[in-house]
């Protein structure tokens, strides 16, 4: 599962978007006078690590970046934190003793953190929500009584536009994975080095 935050890279060119074929949107995006923003954001990320556009959706930006960093650390790992070792600091295993399993423990921790970020990214995507969670029927509106047409409210048609039970059943395991991954991230915060 490789998700990229929309401010990293060529989001409208590479990702699905409901406005993909909307000419006014593309005209705005492809206007050469707007190219400076992409260059500005690129330079800001290189200089200070984030761009002005990342403020708007910072949690999603951090998730995407940290997911990539931890996944890369897991895949190209050369060591593990000393506190995960089976032997006290400074001691070497004697011949015939079991091999140190610290590297295996560290890989399992990194895997769990990556799975937590992937669950969080999946939770943000609307296309992974189970069918039937949201009603396909249009919402009907009506005037609020006594407002002379200035206020509107959703008309009670007897059918629910949102199935809360189905949504909670789908999101509960994803949120539990995310919580566990973030707990491990905090617990091992000083150990992310290679």
Domain ranges of the chain: 1-54, 57-87+98-131+164-194
Largest Cα–Cα distance of the chain, in whole Å? 88
pTM above 0.75, yes or no: no
Cβ atoms < 10 Å from Cβ of 180 = 15
pLDDT higher than threshold 80 for residue 140: no
Render pLDDT for 85-130 as a digit per residue (tens, 0 to 9).
Answer: 777 666 666 655 556 678 888 999 999 999 999 999 888 886 777 7
80 or 11, higher pLDDT: 80
CA 145 – CA 156 distance, rounded (Å):
14
Indicate the angle between helix axes 164-187 and 102-124, nearest 10 degrees. 140
CA 121 – CA 182 distance, rounded (Å):
13
pLDDT higher than threshold 70 for residue 11: no
pLDDT higher than threshold 90 for residue 71: yes
pLDDT of residue 72: 92
Percentage of the chain modeled with pLDDT above 90: 23
The dihedral built from the CA positions of residue 179, 181, 185 and 187, taken in this order, carries a sign that is positive
Comparing 20-29, 75-84, 125-134, 142-151, the range with the smallest average pLDDT is: 20-29
Structure tokens at 21: 């074929």
CA 90 – CA 103 distance, rounded (Å):
17
């Amino acid at each position: 599962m490789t998700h990229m935050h929309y401010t990293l890279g060529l989001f409208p060119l590479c990702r699905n978007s409901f406005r993909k074929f909307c000419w006014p949107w593309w005209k705005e995006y492809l206007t050469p006078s707007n190219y400076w923003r992409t260059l500005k954001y690129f330079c800001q990320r290189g200089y200070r690590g984030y761009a002005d556009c990342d403020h708007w959706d910072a949690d999603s930006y951090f998730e995407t970046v940290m997911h990539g960093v931890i996944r890369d650390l897991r895949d190209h790992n050369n060591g593990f934190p000393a506190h995960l070792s089976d032997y006290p600091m400074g001691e070497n295993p004697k011949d015939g003793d079991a091999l140190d399993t610290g590297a295996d423990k560290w890989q399992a921790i990194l895997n769990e953190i990556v799975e937590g970020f992937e669950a969080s990214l999946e939770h943000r995507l609307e296309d992974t929500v189970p069918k039937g969670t949201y009603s396909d029927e249009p919402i009907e509106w009506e005037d609020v009584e006594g407002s002379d047409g200035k206020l509107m409210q959703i008309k009670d048609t007897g059918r629910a536009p949102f199935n809360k039970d189905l949504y909670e059943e789908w999101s509960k395991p994803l949120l539990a994975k995310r919580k566990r991954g973030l707990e491990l991230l905090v617990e091992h915060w000083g150990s992310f080095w290679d």
